[in-house]
Structure 1
């Protein structure tokens, strides 16, 4: 049965919220199951695999089996990639600490350069999981393709950044919502926007 009009819209929104709450719960449980360090990347990958299906309009499937299958199958590979990202994050953190505590550096120049690099790295991280679940690539190819996708559509990338920051701000002033759909809601927005970028890229490739 298809519900039309405002009632249909309200039903679809409510249904999406309930699905996001369930997905957020799965993400939390499986992140903790991997003791956070080893669980974060495969749990996030599994969540984005579900979101990819939802964004494509496929909602008629059982969420848990797909989540669990993705979590298990991608555990080793995505943790390997994730620890590379984690290493870069630590390097950025250490660099900022060194610059902020050492007056011998030309802080304005070096800090400005690091901020630019941090911006690029942040955009890269936004696209990492959508790229991972959308493309089937060799290990190191994910870094090249993610970097390319991050800047193929600057407007959509800026929209993704704005939406992500906006949602983070809303969750900061309403922290009670974080355990229910804090991670899944932001990830849904990221997957929805990045999917538009992927479709544009694939359409362009077909036209060449």
Structure 2
């Protein structure tokens, strides 16, 4: 029997807390090697003279990301996709690990491609910023490309759990959606930054809610874009069908006169 009223509200809230926290914990556990390599250097190397050590450590973390962070995040997006599409009662463990297994290779390859592009952008940024006289302005272009690529990750993870496409095509589509829907992309970034900022004040959110909240919001925004695109395509198909029917009627009306 479904509970209603105040108790029903508390029950639904507790269910969502459980869904978000369990999914986030699973994501943290599966991403743990990458998170360790990322967070520990940020805590240890916090002085200006330790910048080189920090960059080396972050490079190692980046190399680990395709094998841990990307598959775990795609599994988390597989789970939140069910919620956004109305399947809120989908089994958490089964859905998460099925998404992890099914998307591991594709997400790993996508992670390797993203990592490679990030490395190229970072190297070019540093070269033009400090190494080539008179071309420092180009460094800001590469900085903008890096930010664009980082934002496109939200759409990449959403695409990988929603479509069956090649890895290269998924990366291309993620970047195109990010550029083509700037307001949705910007809202995703702003909400993510807000969640991260709140998590720095309430650190217990990191292991239990931060990742799953961001993933839910990111896929929700992506799904709204998907529905709009689907509606537009259906409208175009309907218009083409109506034009075809109109042409057939005109041809039928002309036949007796010939």
How do residues 19-34 of structure 1 correspond to structure 2 at under 5 angstroms? Answer: 19-32=19-32
Structure number, greater radius of gyration: 2
- For residues 91-124 of structure 1, the C-alpha deviation after alignment (integer angstroms, 9 at most, x for no partner) is 22223333443362432x2133123212321221
Superposition deviation, residue 46 in structure 1: 0.9
Q: Residues 152, 6 of structure 1: CA spacing in aligned structure 2 closer, same or farther, 3 A cutoff?
A: farther
Give the aligned partner of residue 88 of structure 1.
117
Residue 222 (structure 2) pairs with residue 194 (structure 1): yes
TM-score between both structures, scaled by the size of structure 2: 0.72
Instruction: Give the whole-Å Cα distance in 2 for the aligned partners of 1:202 and 1:125.
Output: 22
Instruction: State the 1:6 CA deviation.
Output: 5.8
Question: Structure 1 pair 203/72, CA: closer, same or farther in 2 (3 Å)?
Answer: same
Aligned to 1:70: 99
RMSD of aligned residue pairs (Cα, Å): 2.3
Question: Secondary structure at the residue paired with 1:61?
Answer: coil
| 1:104 partnered with 2:127 | no
Post-superposition Cα deviations, 1:140-187, rounded to whole Å, max 9, x if no partner, equal: 211222122223333222211211111121112322321111211111
1: CA distance between counterparts of 2:117 and 2:139?
16
Q: Which residue of 1 aligns with 2:18?
A: 18
Task: Give the conservation status (yes or no) of the 8 Å contact 2:124–2:139.
Answer: no
C-alpha distance in 2 between matches for 1:2 and 1:123: 40
Give distance in 1, aligned partners of 2:108 and 2:189: 24
Task: List gaps (5 residues or longer) in structure 2.
Answer: 37-63, 237-258
The answer to which structure, 1 or 2, has the higher relative contact order (CA under 8 A, 6+ apart) is: 1
- Distance (whole Å) between structure 2 residues aligned to residue 106 and residue 9 of structure 1: 59
Give the total of aligned pairs. Answer: 207
SS of the equivalent of 1:71 reads: helix
Cα deviation code 1:8-66 (max 9, x no counterpart)? 44443332122111001111222248995412211111110110001111022211122
After superposition, the Cα gap between the structure-2 partners of 1:7 and 1:197, relative to the gap in structure 1 and judged at 3 Å, is farther
Distance (whole Å) between structure 2 residues aligned to residue 151 and residue 43 of structure 1: 26
Deviation at 1:133, TM superposition (A): 0.7
Unaligned runs of 5+ in 1: none
